[in-house]
Amino acid sequence: MHRRETEGSLDRDGPPPFPPELDPSDVQQPDSGVGRLFHRRYRAMIRDADLTPEALHALVTGELDRVVPTELATFHKLEGEDGVMRAGDEYVVRMPGPWDGPVRVIDVTSTSFRLATLEGHLEAGQIEFRFSRDGHLLFEIESWARSGDRLSDLLYQHLRMAKEVQLHLWTSVLEQVAERSGGRLTGGVDIDTRSVAGDR
């Protein structure tokens, strides 16, 4: 893993706009959270992949648990049709301990999907998963989030417990995606974190 942490700014590191056509009720936007805003990007290059970005996207969105280490988390669909992902679908991410996190799908393309956290989640923000190709297959996970409340901020920023669980979860997803693609990671996993001081 290659990890970098630098100071960011709201101009560069704020989340994408929330789609105006979707229902924002129960959504925990970053400005409703506590502590620092973390803009994080996990990135992996995959050599010799058998699948196109579109095919890999379809495989992952058809059943998220195909690439999630189930000892750390499982995705249970609460709203929406099984086997396909559409904007407005809802999931709950079940994790060991008091970590369950409800999310709503707020954007889906043929090569990406973006989730927003809902009330009760440890975080307030968004996370996007993207597949592309520029020579090798590229898979990225990018998030924009603050802690959902002061207890979550303590666990994440100060005790670092939730931060390490999250790090292991998403790096494991990158590895599973590489395996499912039929290729192999090249150059390791790149993790870039930019944080912005919060006012709460």
Q: Using CA atoms, how far apart are residues 44 and 198, in angstroms rounded to an integer? A: 29
Other Cβ atoms less than 10 A from the Cβ of 137: the count is 25
- The model's confidence at residue 200, banded by pLDDT at 50, 70 and 90, is low
pLDDT at res. 34: 87
| 99-140 pLDDT tens trace | 678 999 999 999 999 999 999 888 899 999 999 998 899 999
21 pLDDT above the threshold of 80: yes
Looking at residue 200, its amino acid is: R
Q: Is residue 81 part of a domain?
A: yes
CATH number at residue 167: 3.30.530.20
Q: Is residue 179 part of a domain?
A: yes
Q: Is residue 19 part of a domain?
A: no
Mean pLDDT, all residues of the chain: 89
CA distances from 162 to 90, 152, 154, 157, 175 (A): 22, 8, 9, 8, 20
Note whether 3 and 170 are within 8 A (CB): no
Q: Is residue 115 part of a domain?
A: yes
Q: Count up the domains in the chain and report the number.
A: 1
Residue 160's domain comprises 2-7+26-196
pLDDT at res. 71: 87
Q: Is residue 176 part of a domain?
A: yes
> CA nearest 146: which of 10, 42, 31, 5?
31
> CA nearest 31: which of 127, 118, 145, 119?
145
Q: Is residue 12 part of a domain?
A: no
Which range is most confident: 31-35, 38-42, 156-160? Answer: 38-42
- The predicted model scores a pTM of 0.90
Q: Is residue 21 part of a domain?
A: no
Q: Is residue 20 part of a domain?
A: no
Note whether 51 and 181 are within 8 A (CB): yes
CA distances from 47 to 4, 44, 50, 179 (A): 23, 10, 9, 11
166 pLDDT above the threshold of 90: no
152 pLDDT above the threshold of 80: no
